[in-house]
Structure 1
Amino acid sequence: MANDKKYALITGGTSGIGLELAKLFAQEGFNLVLVARDFSDLQAISAEFKHQFNIDVTTIEKDLSKKEAPFEVCEEIRSKNIQIDILVNNAGQGAYGKFSETDVNRELEIIQLNIAAYVVLTKYFLKDMLSRNEGRILNVASIAGKMPGPWQSVYHGTKAFVVSWTEAILQEIKDTNITITTLLPGATATDFFHKADMEESTLVQKGDLADPAEVAKDGYKALMAGEHKIVSGWKNKAQVVMSNILPDKAVLEMSEKQNKPA
């Protein structure tokens, strides 16, 4: 019976990396809880996956950039008596432009989405996992979290939080059977850049963007193997290594060159 299968909760599960991860879990027979803002997208993907993979798909329409939303997601899952075996914190957005000129209210929503939603969902479901001494968490960060990002300062800052915070939690749970994996993609061909009004950046104009399906495969494989961290793509691995060796000024200049308008 499909109901006897394990459940994976994926935020931002209707597009980009989140959708590709959802496909991978579905192919392996996991039931899904998909959280996203667009009701029609959720309904379409739910119907497709139920038919194609013979799994249960629970959809939750929430905007996780709103303070109360992640708490409401936890409450809804609790009320449905669903045990989450794998949590995938994936939903995230950015804002493009000089910090002195960008919209602070938009940036506060991004901090809520990229940081606070991760914190709330992880705290809630990690407690459940610890009570069973079983479970996996995938936190989607970015190589942006390994370096400051002029023209994307708040986004880079949120991803730096995810990287640092996840490493700290890992140390706290090192004597348990719970695994937490951080996925660090580089620039990926999703609607992220459209939502961030970032199409004019050098990075996008050059068009050297990763395939979200490949990024998802890297993340899924690392998660199921219990790895702590995975940088997706050899170019991104090289960039992270370079950012660790080069002087801070050189790293900033490299990052600005990629981010600023072409």
Structure 2
Amino acid sequence: MALRATSPVRSSTGTTTSRLISPTFNPASNYCVRFWYTMYGKDVKTLNVYAQVHGGLGYPVLTHTGNVDNQWHMAEISLNKEYTADMFQVVFEATHDAYHTHRYSSSSGRYYYDNHNQNGNIAVDDVYVYNTTCQNVPKYPSGSFMRTAGSKTSYYTFHGKATTWYDAVETCKKENIHSNLASVVDAAEQDYLVKLIQSDVSLTAAGQKGFFINGNDYDSENKYEWTASGYPESFNYTNWHVGQPNNVGDNQDCLLMQYPESNYEWGDVSCSEKHPFICETVL
């Protein structure tokens, strides 16, 4: 959900409020709500989250007001039985005070719109709702492979069932709020994944079709970026196979660890092709 203050529809001062209401959740002892949000701009107002019980909002269970920065941040809300003993809904509410006025220019004979309080946008994404306490939500997917490099700890899961790049992203995100397709940022990480694949018969078999990872040049041709963090990050390391990327058919925008005979050097393929894939949860 994004509430953008640019090009406001309101033609007078006042507050614009938008709400996103979840499906209804069944009673349980506890629930945990996690999501990503961004609030950016000098005119940013308020993001509220409510637990709506019996149709009533009550007080917010989370409130953020004002400019934060242009990055994505994770929020966590613990709901106890006072909220969850009955069926309830989660309500996201965002506000801004943007409006427009119009003026007439006698020199041009035209009306112009002037926007006010428009420098502020609020967005939420990837909402996770668990019917347990936040403390009991697993920190990483079961059966994953752990690797620590410096201050970064990653947990990798391999999926042998071939799917499109887009569906692979969705599957990874369902595993964990910190999960996405793997971003291979240096030779050591590439070697680690290759050794895992080569040491397992089933992974080696699946790898004959290659493994999708996160990189893509979907936004700008031949400018490959990692997009797992929510903001594009340029490649500082590449492992392209000879002649790759080559954008055959002018529709190859997604990165595949493609060549098992060359230690899974990279190639570009269509994002709609179906391949196995690797997810990475970063803690």
What is the TM-score of this pair, normalised by structure 2? 0.23
Question: Which structure shows the higher helix fraction?
Answer: 1
Q: Which has the larger radius of gyration?
A: 2
